[in-house]
Amino acid sequence: MREIVSPARALEGIITLPGDKSISHRYGMLASIAKGRSTIANYSTGADCQSTLACMAALGAKIERQEGSISIEGGPLQEPAALLDAGNSGSTIRMLSGILAAQPFTSRIGGDESLSRRPMARIIGPLTEMGGSIEARDQKFPPLTIHGRPLHGIDYHLPMASAQVKSCILLAGLFAQGDTIVREPVRTRDHTEIALKEFGAEIEIEKRTIRLHGGARLTGRELVAPGDLSSACFFLVAALMVKEASLVIHGVGLNPTRSGLLDFLVSMGAQIKVLEVHQVGGELIGDLRVQSSPVSGGVIEGGVIEGTMTAALIDEIPALAVLGAASRNGLTVRDAGELRIKETDRIATIEAGFRKMGVKIETNPEGFHVPGGQTFHAGEIDSAGDHRIAMAFAVAALAADGPCAIEGAESANVSFPEFFATLRQIAQK
Ligand code: S3P
């Protein structure tokens, strides 16, 4: 499907967003293994989180969808009748594998073409150390055949910054004998740790070391998934790309392991106010108000993303690359090799889209530099089936010199099916 996005003069409105993708996955999985009933308000409408629900239903969880929420009756999982389909979702396959590794049955899990190219050795290694038995295509790619085994806790130094791998080990650790310890090289999103506590697990956190006691009994909860800050990012960037903007985004997740995005945008000169902050289910949530930036007459400064900041902003880099090109001094991204193994090689797909729109970018294996002060030119851009690439280029199109066609726009459904409708609602010509 192609979407035509026309340049916009202004962006105005009050919007709410689907539930956070990361948090929805975790709530969906934990509610399915917890005793009793959970309700999750604002569960993500994105296809990835629906893949998690389909997998959990195939494993025996009873899931009902109501207006604006879902309820899950959890309990012991059952052997699935067929291959579990994780679709496009790396979070589903990696995190669920941790649970499956400890079940008293064998299961198979795979996904679409993009997922079938994503590395799984990073979870097979630690799960095998815990006593798990997993077969993979070429020992490293999906589909995975997971022979459930009794597991034991391990003390694991995570070799890369990955919340999915951390979460996989912790979820396996729930069923393991003894304690499971994960030591992170840099702090990554901690939604799993927060959710585990909410569902009743015993977990201790000291700086970058997480210790989980095995064998906890989880019980159902009433939860709310905050709006997804990574989805909000596209509108925050859009507001900074157009001449006039006044936008309020209600009920967005502001977990400190994710909200570095706001600090970064403010450091570039963005005018963002955070209002009505409160806690739900251990997660911070609040409203964001963004306005065009009088600091620089609508043009904002550039910036550098490197080191621990790269891990914190990893999903936002496609949108920030677009902002970088329109900024005064450009954007440099370093230490971002992980971007090459996301839904697409995002350094390559950003580069391809920029070239189509006549925007300069220099890439290297670990990042890129986008010079500032550039104009996006009207053209046809291919999303390459990657949701964040489709949405980032739709935002670039708002500031282009003519209408742009985004090919494969339906890929936005992976995290944000309402994206193009919301954009049409707030963008003014
Ligand atoms: C996620 C962790 C990140 C992120 C992904 C969601 C999560 O992946 O890019 O979109 O929910 O834990 P990695 O763990 O591979 O860095």
For the chain, list the domains and their CATH numbers. 2-19+226-428 (3.65.10.10), 21-224 (3.65.10.10)
| Residue among 297, 303, 340 nearest 321 (CA) | 303
- For ligand 1, the distance from its centroid to the CA atom of residue 369, given in whole angstroms, is 23
Backbone angles phi, psi at 360, to 5 degrees: -80, 145
Q: What is the pLDDT of residues 187-241, one digit of tens each?
A: 999 999 999 999 999 999 999 999 999 999 999 999 999 999 999 999 999 999 9
Q: Which of 85, 190, 228, 315 is the catalytic position?
A: 315
- If one residue of 187, 190, 314 were mutated to test the ligand 1 pocket, choosing by the most ligand atoms within 8 A of its CB, it would be 314
Q: Which atom of ligand 1 is nearest to the CA of 189?
A: 12
Ligand 1: centre distance to CA 21 (Å): 10
pLDDT at 297 over 60: no
With the most atoms of ligand 1 within 8 angstroms of its CB, the residue from 88, 164, 170, 196 to mutate is 164
Q: Is the pLDDT of residue 167 over 60?
A: yes
Instruction: Note the pLDDT tens digit of each residue in 16-35.
Output: 999 999 999 999 999 999 99
Query: Quick check: CB of 162 below 6 Å from ligand 1?
Result: yes
pLDDT of amino acid 296: 47
User: Which element (helix H / strand E) includes 109?
Assistant: strand 106-110
- Whether the bond into 143 is cis, omega within 30 of 0: yes
Give CA–CA dist 78/55, Å, rounded.
11
Does any ligand 1 atom lie closer than 6 A to the CB of residue 190? no
> What is the average per-residue pLDDT within 3-11?
96
Q: How far is the CA of 190 from the centre of ligand 1 (A)?
A: 11
Residue having the nearest C-alpha atom to atom 15 of ligand 1: 162
CA separation for the pair 318, 221 (Å, rounded): 35
Residue 334, classed as helix, strand or coil, is coil
Average pLDDT over residues 150-156: 98
Q: Is the CB of 22 under 6 A from ligand 1?
A: yes
The predicted model gives 134-159 an average pLDDT of: 98
CA–CA dist 99, 36 (Å, integer): 18
Q: Parallel, antiparallel, or unpaired for β 141-147 and 179-183?
A: unpaired
Cα separation, 179 vs 220, in Å, equals 23
- pLDDT tens for 307-337 read 999 999 999 999 999 999 999 999 999 999 9
Residue 429: predicted pLDDT: 86
Query: Mean pLDDT throughout 45-61?
Result: 98
Type of residue numbered 350? I
User: How close is the Cα of 298 to the center of ligand 1, in Å?
Assistant: 32
292 — pLDDT class (breaks 50, 70, 90): confident
166 Cβ below 6 A of ligand 1: no
CB 114 within 8 A of CB 343: yes
- CA distances for 319 relative to 125, 236, 367, 391, angstroms: 33, 9, 14, 8
In 292-409 the beta strands, taken as DSSP E runs, fall at: 303-305, 331-333, 362-364, 367-370, 380-382, 404-407
Closest CA to 370 of 331, 396, 417: 331
Between CA 407 and CA 367 the distance in angstroms is 25
Percentage of the chain modeled with pLDDT above 90? 97
Using the mean position of ligand 1's atoms as its centre, give its distance from the Cα of residue 315 in Å: 8
pLDDT of 363 reads 98
Active site residue 190: no
Distance 10 CA to ligand 1 centre (A): 32
**Residue of 22, 26, 414 to test ligand 1 pocket, by largest number of atoms within 8 Å of CB:** 22
Burial of residue 425 (CB within 10 Å: 0-12, 13-18, 19+) is: exposed
H or E stretch including 47? helix 47-58
